[in-house]
Amino acid sequence: MTGAVNETATGAEPEAEAEAEAAAPDGSPRPSRPVPAPRPVPAPRSAAVPARQGPERGRLQVRPVGRRGLLVELASAEATEAFHAELLRRRAAGELPGVTEIVPGAATVLLDGFATPGAARRLAAELPGWRIPPLASGDGSVLEIPVRYDGPDIPDVAALWGVAEDEVAGIHAATEFRVAFCGFAPGFGYLTGLGEHRHVPRRSDPRTKVPAGAVGLAGAYTGVYPRSSPGGWQLIGTAPETVLWDTSRTPAALLAPGTRVRFVPMSPPDPEGAPS
């Protein structure tokens, strides 16, 4: 459908998503490949070009995808989110050539379905001159997701953060998140917002089954599992009231790139037989 934003970036497992180039979906290293000897080639039209990222200069690279698509590679997750937001702003203002899909990833944005190959080439030539403002934190409404902070990995996360276990919920709930991109499974969003000092590694022993609604941390991301599946994220809670994917709903996915999210602590359940 023209103008639709694709909800799913890739089909890789969440623990392999951001490292898809270095590891197979199950986390094992990819077999090494022979590297051909380099040879001089003419610089392509889509070679790396400077782009203005707010007050500082960053770099992006534009590659053709077929005859009517572009893949824009950016230097960081933050630059990717800002660039994606600018694409959406320009499209809403009628300043972007018509495309069928705009699909953000961890450090890329795919634009596909230009009306003509010429439209794709013209935009590729224009991108170096774009001024990309910093990502605004206050744009749009905030989606609240109730969470019971009862995850089995809270002790490990607390140790990695250097805080008491009962502080993990407060730190996480005080953070405003933003959906950077979607992937792994229908409805799964990769949420950014935690500072670098709060990033945590994936578990060294992934679980064979993570329940639907589990709230986990891995690297720079927070995510909520839309369905039961294997996974290696650090589990800190459960979102029992939130349905992330519902085909009877339009759109079916609750989360989309750019959505602002806050996690709201739920009161612990009353002990059985306690007075109401």
Domains annotated for the chain, with CATH where assigned, are 45-132 (3.30.1360.40), 142-265 (2.40.100.10)
Q: Is the pLDDT of residue 99 over 70?
A: yes
Q: How confident is the model at residue 238 (pLDDT cuts 50, 70, 90)?
A: very high
Which of the pair, 211 or 55, is modelled with greater confidence?
A: 211
At residue 147, what is the residue type? V
Closest CA to 173 of 236, 121, 253: 236
Model pLDDT, residue 128 = 78
Rounded to whole angstroms, the Cα distance separating 238 from 236 reads 7
- Whole-number pLDDT of residue 11: 45
User: ∠ CA 171-217-219 to the nearest 5 degrees?
Assistant: 105
Top-confidence range, 67-81, 91-105, 124-138, 196-210: 196-210
Per-residue confidence band for 181, with pLDDT thresholds at 50, 70 and 90:
very high
Q: What is the pLDDT of residue 139?
A: 63
The residues near 55 (Cβ < 8 Å, ≥ 6 apart) are none
Name the DSSP class of 29: B
